[in-house]
Structure 1
Amino acid sequence: MRETTPYAISTGIGGVVYEICWYMRGLEQWFTDMLVNPAFCEALLDRTLKFWLDYYTGFMKEIGDIIDVVMIGDDLAGQGGPLFNPDFYRQVVKPRQKKLVQHIKSLTGAKIWYHTCGSCVEFIPELLDNGIDILNPVQITGKGMDPEFLKEVYGKQLVFWGGGIDSQHVLPFADPDEVKKNVRANIEIFKQGGGYVFNNVHNIQAGVPPANIIAMYEAAYQYGFSD
């Protein structure tokens, strides 16, 4: 496969160790479980971890030598900050995430891409310790997610895959010229020294003017290549 494409080959799935628990329990009930029954949470997390360890053991056996990026994710934050107590993450969730990341890395030389929406800045040191190489979607409108701060503090340790435009205010509501200005400003920050992959912050939502989508891609091609 590497001989037939010049592009990076990526694979993976979101909602692994932690997020899949709220799919099963429901978001409100899962957060209640964290408070009133942490032992149950640990038991369920152990089961989800085992599933993904087994899954990636078999998966990487088949494709581990041909891929460049493995995508995983567990949403940890909302617009204003963490979705739950960061101490619970450090004590309960993180050890299991780290075990999964290290297991995947033992099976492939691919980089690990991690998705979490929102203001995840408080978790970045923990994600780096887990062995994460790439952060997505870099929600620059989240609290504390200023592009200059992120690049200055973490740019030598982490690849940013996203953060290309304010997708909440600029992409849906500005004119194409403003879209291009916003894309250029973010790219100029993130691309310095490399370690950046342009991407809109998460998915393009319904109602975004097609002209703005075109403007975003035009600006990315115009300004997105490293000097």
Structure 2
Amino acid sequence: MTSKERALAPIKNKTMDRFPMWYGGDPKTTENIVAALGAKDENEALYDILDIDYKTIRPEYVGKPYKTYEDGSFDTDWGIRRAGLHYGQAITHPLAYAKSVKDIMDYPYPDIDDYDCKITEKQLREAEGYTIIGGTWSPFFHDATELIGMEDFFIKMYTDEKVIDTLVGKCFDFYYELTKRSFEQNPGVIDMFFMGNDFGTQRSLLLSPEMWRKYFKPRIRKIVDLAHSNNAVTAVHSCGAIRKLIPDLIDVGFDAVNPIQVNASDMDPQELMDEFGNDITFFGGIDENDILLNQSEERVREETKRIIDILGRKGKYIVAASHDYLLPEVPAKNIIAMFDEAKKYGLGEFGRIS
């Protein structure tokens, strides 16, 4: 079967030859995989050798180059200065002064026209036969907290509801309109809408379920409905201990949930499967914090099979690590072992009982 058929099969309850596999990582991590496999390039390593089933094509930023500083920090199109490894962390909060809805409304948010949403013919040719993930990552929770400062954000959720609701709405509207444009400019092309906002820590949620339902749930439902109206399946990424939100993620219509951090509090994979396995596809769950990072290839293979047997018990599973962005510190040999074992193991126990 084609990668596209396989990649959509768990969500659409179709027969498949093995569980589909998804990869996300830092460019340097990918370089390490290419070198370890002796491949000529990323495409050969990920798709010809490892047999990954999804290709991601996001809108491309084509606006003015970001302003950079001598210390390596830079300003994004959100007006936030960032520093540190990879995409870095926000070191300025340009709306920290905001005291009114007008302050929020007057802020210069990113311009949708600074993004090119059209998927090129070359990209289409290279993605032929694969499930295309499109639209935007839509991290509107993170943008809102970085603009105003996380501590003030959480305080003002209670003390200044209109300011926070307006801020969250402005951040969400940018991604909604950009994703809408992506579907409009690429009709029938995008197979999966996969968005991400980290609402959990290793121990608990960052905010109460009640506050999440108040500020985020209606907006997330809106963008999920947009994707479904364009015949795309949907997946959500949220790190950490998010078990209390999973019923809501199911309720808004998500087809799959990622990354399933199995070593976070209250995220035991067997319990998650027992409680939610009929209602959503699990996407991830192969531990990155210890197994992929520190253990042997043999141990990685054992854990890969264990997770497939648990989260794939009903045939609704996508093979991936428990983090969406594998860093270069994760040994390439362990990432390769995970995907190699997943291919060999196929449908695991599900294949033997179905």
Q: Distance in 2 between matches of 1:205 and 1:52?
A: 26
Is the CA contact (8 Å cut-off) linking 2:137 and 2:194 kept in structure 1?
Answer: yes
Shift of 1:39: 1.8
Match of residue 51 from structure 1: 174
Of residues 78, 81, 98, the one that matches 2:204 is 81
Shift of 1:182: 1.0
Amino acid at match of 1:218: D
Q: Distance in 1 between matches of 2:345 and 2:247?
A: 29
In the alignment, does 2:131 pair up with 1:8? yes
- TM-score, normalised via structure 1 length: 0.89
Match of residue 161 from structure 1: 283
Match of residue 28 from structure 1: 151
Amino acid at match of 1:95: P
Number of aligned positions between the proteins: 225
Of residues 137, 158, 180, the one that matches 2:259 is 137
Amino acid at match of 1:47: K
Shift of 1:119: 0.8
Is the CA contact (8 Å cut-off) linking 2:255 and 2:280 kept in structure 1?
Answer: yes
Is the CA contact (8 Å cut-off) linking 1:115 and 1:135 kept in structure 2?
Answer: yes
Of residues 158, 180, 193, the one that matches 1:70 is 193
Is the CA contact (8 Å cut-off) linking 2:203 and 2:264 kept in structure 1?
Answer: yes
- TM-score, normalised via structure 2 length: 0.59
Match of residue 332 from structure 2: 210
Is the CA contact (8 Å cut-off) linking 1:69 and 1:113 kept in structure 2?
Answer: yes
Q: Distance in 1 between matches of 2:167 and 2:317?
A: 35
Shift of 1:4: 6.9
Amino acid at match of 2:154: F
Is the CA contact (8 Å cut-off) linking 1:17 and 1:74 kept in structure 2?
Answer: yes
Structure 1 stretch displaced more, 108-117 or 169-178: 169-178
Alignment gaps of 5+ in structure 1: none
Larger RCO: 1 or 2 (CA < 8 Å, sep 6+): 2
Call closer, same or farther: CA 1:204–1:73 in 2, change over 3 Å.
Answer: closer
In the alignment, does 2:349 pair up with 1:221? no
- Secondary structure of the residue aligned to 1:81 is coil
Call closer, same or farther: CA 1:4–1:183 in 2, change over 3 Å.
Answer: closer
- Structural RMSD (CA): 2.1
Call closer, same or farther: CA 1:64–1:149 in 2, change over 3 Å.
Answer: farther
Q: Distance in 1 between matches of 2:162 and 2:176?
A: 21
Q: Distance in 1 between matches of 2:276 and 2:339?
A: 26
Of residues 260, 265, 268, the one that matches 1:146 is 268
Q: Distance in 2 between matches of 1:47 and 1:205?
A: 31
- Secondary structure of the residue aligned to 1:91 is helix
In the alignment, does 2:309 pair up with 1:188? yes
Amino acid at match of 1:212: N
In the alignment, does 2:321 pair up with 1:200? yes
Call closer, same or farther: CA 1:176–1:132 in 2, change over 3 Å.
Answer: same
Amino acid at match of 1:23: E
Deviations 1:103-136 (A, max 9, x none): 3322x11011111000111001111111111111
* Identical-residue share of aligned pairs (%): 29
Is the CA contact (8 Å cut-off) linking 2:136 and 2:175 kept in structure 1?
Answer: no
**Whose helix fraction is larger, Structure 1's or Structure 2's?**
1
Q: Distance in 1 between matches of 2:127 and 2:335?
A: 29
Q: Which has the larger radius of gyration?
A: 2
Of residues 269, 291, 298, the one that matches 1:177 is 298
Structure 1 stretch displaced more, 8-17 or 185-194: 8-17
Q: Distance in 1 between matches of 2:223 and 2:185?
A: 18
Alignment gaps of 5+ in structure 2: 1-123
Is the CA contact (8 Å cut-off) linking 2:292 and 2:334 kept in structure 1?
Answer: yes
Match of residue 68 from structure 2: none
After TM superposition, the runs of 4+ consecutive aligned structure 1 residues lying more than 6 A away are none
